């Protein structure tokens, strides 16, 4: 067994003595499974340390990059989702094991003399582990982490006197942002690991100094040694925890990443991580003025009682003190379990919460789809723009908020509230914008302008209705005109009427002649038709991005609907009311120009069907 | 003693099993960059042939969309190429070089007297034909594929590529 190198090393360091003292540490009454919790916690902590270091290699802590980098780890890196999944669910494992360790220590009476100091180190470790959880939850900078952190730090801000200052200090300023992330990150990967390492060293050193607390029947069994019996049991426990962790990670394909943090969202159903649900539920029990009981008084009392547990022996007889301590801790755990189940039960029964959660999941899936698409990706401005630059998400939101109070889209207006589970739309006073500018929209208009889809609800726009009474265009000619007018939407932002007219395919289009002869009596297109029979909007580039933009900014201009009384006209939206991006996304949404948009002709209703159903 | 051995080997087995199970995704994740490939370039228009003067190198920016890990950048300059028009009757009307020095990747510029290419990092010097003029660079400047369109006003198209630094051989990074 003589190894010259090991001998030399031992001569210089004396490592064999240390190793021997660890391996041969006596266990009164022999090895037992109940002693494994500390080792299991240490193992899980090492797993967290390893996966955490790996994640640090790819994570980027700033409000514009955090979400993107976590997305990249989760979706694009080889087995990145496994590493992040282990780290994410590992925090739950830490907290669970912590609770088990605590209960075991109290049940065994290991908190009392002479181990008081180590009980307090253990409590210190508990706070550090909860600190890891709180700071780590924010780091992906997704909706979940953002809102949960807002709530948690908000609670802190409610503390008497120092609360607001403390909150500002923790989040790095008056608002949540880059400084919040960098602070949380620094604490999570620097300060907490260092403190944990120091406290854990003290905790383990003290545990060894006092030895394991002998079980009550220990004297009936021979004294054992740590190696190999207890080590084996520790290994079984460690591997068991790791196996459960892996099963959770693999079965759910890693940890969720919610949509990027959006401080402007109003319907995100914020919930803390599951092991904080009891505190969340406690808040509901003490509403209003009594909230401080749930946020400060109860947690502070629990911590105080826990800290004083070892001193209970000085007040009461030994057995009674232990009974009280066990009663307190097990009662506490029972309360935590009860409140957590209650929180989940209430959420499951809450249809409003479920609907909000479903919307949040749709945003999450959309954001991940967009970020992963080669043609879209995460914009350089930051991950919050992933959804802000998405016509389906943002364009639709703008449409619903600003346009659907008058217009309809696909038969629906704004839905202010559900009445008896039935959706009731706001009344329609303008056209249905679904497919606006497309062939089928125009063809439907030419077939039945009185339909609610077109000008049926806008009584001051009766020109097309009047035209329909007198027109002699055949069905074929109407088809041609509709096809012709549908090409107007393609006219570019800088094209002049003359340039457009000289393009090939314009004057040879079958719809060109009937358009000029029939539509041109009222509608003006510079250089093509003169109108004059009735007031009507100029149709050059009608339905194109430039036309819609102008219609939104200045519907009352002479070439649009200036001839209609202002009170009957569409209201103008200034660039303060709708930003450039709002309008661009809105128009792209109307034009089906987004990732995953329905293919032309598939989703749009056929004009005849539309006209039929709308004229009922 | 048998039971003790079971514990001993069992502990070692379980410990190694756990470490190995964590190491597999850990190593795969760590070595992920090796699995990432840069995308192949396409020919893109750089200049009009008539704008280039024979024997006067011009640096033209290469404008491309770029994916940097999770960020998708819109079209912006991602590098430059040197275009050198050749005298009438040459086999290639235009020769294109990357501006990346084959020595250690610094940017190659024109020397102050504008008669040679010069890299300021370690004094690599090249003729306008790309041939090295001292022993610093391991090989000639990296030439790029050039196509001239058949328009009445021909356009110079270049396929932008990156190459491994050092070594006598020119090896594409795609």
The answer to whether residues A406 and A503 belong to one domain is no
Could you give the CA distance from residue A276 to residue A448 in angstroms, rounded to a whole number? 60
Whether residue A235 and residue B31 make contact (CB cut-off 8 A), yes or no, is no
Whether residue A377 and residue B72 make contact (CB cut-off 8 A), yes or no, is yes
Mean pLDDT value across residues A207-226: 87
- Taking the CA atoms of B108, B113, B114 and B115 in sequence, report the sign of the dihedral they define: negative
In this prediction, residue A607 carries a pLDDT of 43
3-state secondary structure (DSSP) of residue A163: helix
Is residue A238 less than 8 Å (CB to CB) from chain B?
Answer: yes
Residue A28: pLDDT band (50, 70, 90) is confident
Whether residue B71 and residue A380 make contact (CB cut-off 8 A), yes or no, is yes
Tell me the pLDDT of chain A averaged across its residues: 91
- Whether the predicted pLDDT of A202 surpasses 50: yes
For residue B72, the chain A residues in CB contact (below 8 A) are 376-380
Question: What letter would DSSP give residue B77?
Answer: E
Mean pLDDT value across residues B131-136: 95
In this prediction, residue A214 carries a pLDDT of 85
- Taking the CA atoms of A226, A227, A233 and A239 in sequence, report the sign of the dihedral they define: positive
Q: Which residues contact A601 (CB under 8 A, 6 or more apart)?
A: none
Q: Which residues contact A79 (CB under 8 A, 6 or more apart)?
A: B24, B25, B28, B29
The answer to whether residues A177 and A129 belong to one domain is yes
Residues 47-106 of B with CB under 8 A from A: 67, 69-74
Could you give the CA distance from residue A448 to residue A302 in angstroms, rounded to a whole number? 73
In this prediction, residue A15 carries a pLDDT of 92
How many Cα atoms sit within 13 Å of A112 on the Cβ side? 20
- Give the CATH number for residue A40: 1.20.810.10
Strands (E) in A282-344, as ranges, are none
Residue A343 covered by a domain: no
- A478-504 pLDDT tens trace: 999 999 999 999 999 999 999 999 999
Q: Which residues contact B119 (CB under 8 A, 6 or more apart)?
A: B101, B103, B106, B107, B108, B109, B125, B136, B137
Percent of chain B at pLDDT > 70 equals: 99
- A590 contacts A552 by C-beta, under 8 angstroms: no
- A379-437 pLDDT tens trace: 999 999 999 999 999 999 999 999 998 999 998 888 776 656 677 788 888 999 999 99
| Separation in Å, CA of B139 to nearest CA in chain A | 35
The answer to whether residues A258 and A383 belong to one domain is no
For residue A58, the chain B residues in CB contact (below 8 A) are 69
- A68-111 pLDDT tens trace: 999 999 999 999 999 999 999 999 999 999 999 999 999 999 99
- Whether the predicted pLDDT of A616 surpasses 60: no
Please return the burial class of A334, using the count of CB atoms within 10 Å of its CB with bins 0-12, 13-18 and 19+. exposed
Q: Which residues contact A126 (CB under 8 A, 6 or more apart)?
A: A98, A102
- B73-109 pLDDT tens trace: 999 998 899 999 999 888 889 999 999 999 999 999 9
Count Cβ–Cβ pairs < 8 Å, chain A vs chain B.
93
In this prediction, residue A600 carries a pLDDT of 60
For residue A371, the chain B residues in CB contact (below 8 A) are 70
Residue A188 covered by a domain: yes
Kindly state the tokens that stand for A9. Answer: 């090393």
Whose CA is closest to A433, among A574, A523, A543, A539?
A: A543
Residue A257 Cα distances to A78, A273, A365, B68, angstroms = 17, 13, 9, 20
Residue A507 covered by a domain: yes
The answer to whether residues A135 and A246 belong to one domain is yes
* Total domains, chain A: 3
For residue A84, the chain B residues in CB contact (below 8 A) are none
Whose CA is closest to B160, among B66, B71, B56, B35?
A: B66
For residue A51, the chain B residues in CB contact (below 8 A) are 22, 26
Q: Which residue's structure tokens are 């964590």?
A: B22
Residue A317 covered by a domain: no
Residue A65 covered by a domain: yes
Whether residue B32 and residue A86 make contact (CB cut-off 8 A), yes or no, is no
Tell me the pLDDT of chain B averaged across its residues: 93
Residue A333 covered by a domain: no
Residue A289: pLDDT band (50, 70, 90) is confident
- Give one DSSP letter per residue of A400-448, joined into a string: IIIITTTSBBTTB-----EETTEE-PPPP-S-B-TTTTSHHHHHHHHH-
CB neighbourhood size of A130 (10 A):
16
Q: Which of A401, A424, A447 is the endpoint of a domain?
A: A424
The answer to whether residues A367 and A457 belong to one domain is no
Rounded to two decimals, the pTM is 0.90
The answer to whether residues A175 and A53 belong to one domain is yes
Could you give the CA distance from residue A242 to residue A93 in angstroms, rounded to a whole number? 9
The answer to whether residues A190 and A259 belong to one domain is yes
Whether residue A371 and residue B70 make contact (CB cut-off 8 A), yes or no, is yes
Residue A604: pLDDT band (50, 70, 90) is very low
The answer to whether residues A122 and A227 belong to one domain is yes
Whether residue B70 and residue A242 make contact (CB cut-off 8 A), yes or no, is no
Question: What angle in degrees, to the nearest 10, is found between the helix axes of A545-553 and A580-590?
Answer: 130
Residue A56 Cα distances to A72, A382, A398, B9, B58, angstroms = 13, 19, 38, 35, 43
The answer to whether residues A456 and A411 belong to one domain is no
Whether residue B71 and residue A86 make contact (CB cut-off 8 A), yes or no, is no
- Whether the predicted pLDDT of A605 surpasses 50: no
Question: For chain B, what percentages of helix, strand and coil (3-state, to nearest 5) are there?
Answer: 20, 35, 45
A173: left (phi over 0), alpha (psi -120 to 50) or beta: left
For residue A242, the chain B residues in CB contact (below 8 A) are 18, 21-22
Residue A320 covered by a domain: no
- A103-152 pLDDT tens trace: 999 999 999 989 999 999 999 999 999 999 999 999 999 999 999 999 99
For residue A380, the chain B residues in CB contact (below 8 A) are 71-74
- A335 contacts A302 by C-beta, under 8 angstroms: no
Full residue range of the structural domain in which residue A200 is found = 23-276
Lowest mean pLDDT among A57-71, A215-229, A391-405: A215-229
How many Cα atoms sit within 13 Å of A404 on the Cβ side? 22
Q: Which of A247, A276, A305 is the endpoint of a domain?
A: A276
3-state secondary structure (DSSP) of residue A55: helix
The answer to whether residues A446 and A420 belong to one domain is no
Residue A501 covered by a domain: yes
- Whether the predicted pLDDT of A601 surpasses 90: no
Could you give the CA distance from residue B142 to residue B121 in angstroms, rounded to a whole number? 17
Bridge partners (DSSP) of residue B79 are B62
Q: Which of A242, A276, A310 is the endpoint of a domain?
A: A276
- Whether the predicted pLDDT of A296 surpasses 50: yes
In this prediction, residue A182 carries a pLDDT of 98
Percent of chain A at pLDDT > 70 equals: 96
Whether residue A377 and residue B71 make contact (CB cut-off 8 A), yes or no, is yes
Could you give the CA distance from residue A168 to residue A187 in angstroms, rounded to a whole number? 16
The answer to whether residues A579 and A531 belong to one domain is yes
For residue A78, how far is the Cα from the chain centroid?
23
The answer to whether residues A457 and A392 belong to one domain is no
Mean pLDDT value across residues A348-356: 94
- B139-170 pLDDT tens trace: 999 999 999 999 899 999 999 999 999 989 99
Could you give the CA distance from residue B33 to residue A46 in angstroms, rounded to a whole number? 25
């Amino acid at each position: 067994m003589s190894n010259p190198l090991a001998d030399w090393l031992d001569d210089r360091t004396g490592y064999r003595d240390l190793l021997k003292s660890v391996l041969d540490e006596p266990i009164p009454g022999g090895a037992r499974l109940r002693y494994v919790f500390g080792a299991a916690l240490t193992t899980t902590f090492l797993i967290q340390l390893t996966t955490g270091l790996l994640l640090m290699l790819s994570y980027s802590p700033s409000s514009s990059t955090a979400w993107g980098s976590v997305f990249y780890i989760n979706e694009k890196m080889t087995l990145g989702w496994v590493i992040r999944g282990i780290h994410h669910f590992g925090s739950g494992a830490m907290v669970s094991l912590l609770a088990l360790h605590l209960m075991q220590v109290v049940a065994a009476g290991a908190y009392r003399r002479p181990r008081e100091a180590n009980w307090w180190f253990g409590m210190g470790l508990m706070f550090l582990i909860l600190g890891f959880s709180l700071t780590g939850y924010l780091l992906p900078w997704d909706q979940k982490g953002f809102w949960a952190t807002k709530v948690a730090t908000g609670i802190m801000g409610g503390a008497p006197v120092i609360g607001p200052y403390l909150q500002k200090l923790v989040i790095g300023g008056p608002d949540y942002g880059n400084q919040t992330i960098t602070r949380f990150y620094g604490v999570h990967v620097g300060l907490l690991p260092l403190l944990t390492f120091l406290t854990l060293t003290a905790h383990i050193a003290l545990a060894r100094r006092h030895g394991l607390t002998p079980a009550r029947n220990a004297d009936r069994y021979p004294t054992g040694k740590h190696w190999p019996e207890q080590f084996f049991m520790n290994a079984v426990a460690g591997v068991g925890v790791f196996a459960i962790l892996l099963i959770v990670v693999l079965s759910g394909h890693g940890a969720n990443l919610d949509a990027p943090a959006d401080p402007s969202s109003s319907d995100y159903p914020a919930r803390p991580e599951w092991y904080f649900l009891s505190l969340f539920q406690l808040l509901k029990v003490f509403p209003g003025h009594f909230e401080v009981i749930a946020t400060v008084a109860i947690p502070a009392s629990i911590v105080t009682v826990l800290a004083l547990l070892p001193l209970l022996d000085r007040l009461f007889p030994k057995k009674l003190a232990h009974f009280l301590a066990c009663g307190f801790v097990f009662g506490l755990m029972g309360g935590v379990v009860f409140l957590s189940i209650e929180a989940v039960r209430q959420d499951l029964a809450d249809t409003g919460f479920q609907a909000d959660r479903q919307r949040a999941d749709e945003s999450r899936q959309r954001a991940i789809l967009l970020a992963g698409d080669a043609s879209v990706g995460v914009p350089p401005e930051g991950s919050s723009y992933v959804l802000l630059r998405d016509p389906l998400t943002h364009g639709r939101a703008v449409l619903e908020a600003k346009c659907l109070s008058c217009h309809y889209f696909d038969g629906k207006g704004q839905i202010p509230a559900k009445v008896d589970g039935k959706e009731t739309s706001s009344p329609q006073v303008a056209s249905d914008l679904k497919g606006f500018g497309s062939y089928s929209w125009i063809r439907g208009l030419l077939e039945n302008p009185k339909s609610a889809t077109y000008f049926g609800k806008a009584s001051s726009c009766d020109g097309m209705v009047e035209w329909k009474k007198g027109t002699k265009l055949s069905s074929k000619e109407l088809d041609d005109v509709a096809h012709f007018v549908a090409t107007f939407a393609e006219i570019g932002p800088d094209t002049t009427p003359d340039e457009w007219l000289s393009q090939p395919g314009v004057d040879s289009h079958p719809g060109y002649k009937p358009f000029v002869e029939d539509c041109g009596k009222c509608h003006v297109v510079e250089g093509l038709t003169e109108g004059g029979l009735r007031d009507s909007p100029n149709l050059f580039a009608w339905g194109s991005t430039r036309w819609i933009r102008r219609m939104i900014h200045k519907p009352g201009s002479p070439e649009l609907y200036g001839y209609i009384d202002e009170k009957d006209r569409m209201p103008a939206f200034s660039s303060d009311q709708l930003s450039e991006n709002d309008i661009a996304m809105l128009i792209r949404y109307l034009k089906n120009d987004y990732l995953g948009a329905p293919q032309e002709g598939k989703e749009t209703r056929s004009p005849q069907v539309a006209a039929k159903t709308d004229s009922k | 003693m048998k039971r003790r051995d079971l514990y001993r080997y069992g502990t070692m087995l379980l410990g190694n099993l756990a470490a190995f199970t964590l190491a597999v995704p850990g190593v795969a994740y760590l070595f992920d960059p090796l699995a990432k490939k840069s995308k192949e370039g396409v020919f893109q228009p750089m200049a009009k042939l008539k704008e280039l003067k024979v024997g006067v190198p011009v640096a033209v920016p290469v404008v491309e969309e770029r994916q940097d890990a999770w960020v998708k950048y819109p079209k912006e300059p991602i590098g430059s190429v040197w275009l050198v028009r050749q005298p009438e009757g040459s086999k290639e009307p235009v020769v294109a070089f990357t501006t990346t020095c084959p020595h250690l990747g610094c940017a190659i510029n024109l020397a102050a007297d504008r008669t040679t290419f010069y890299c300021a990092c370690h004094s690599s010097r090249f003729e306008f034909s790309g041939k090295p003029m001292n022993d610093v660079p391991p090989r000639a400047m990296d030439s790029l594929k050039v196509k001239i369109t058949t328009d009445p006003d021909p356009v110079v198209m270049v396929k932008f590529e990156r190459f491994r630094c050092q070594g006598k051989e020119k090896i594409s990074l795609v």
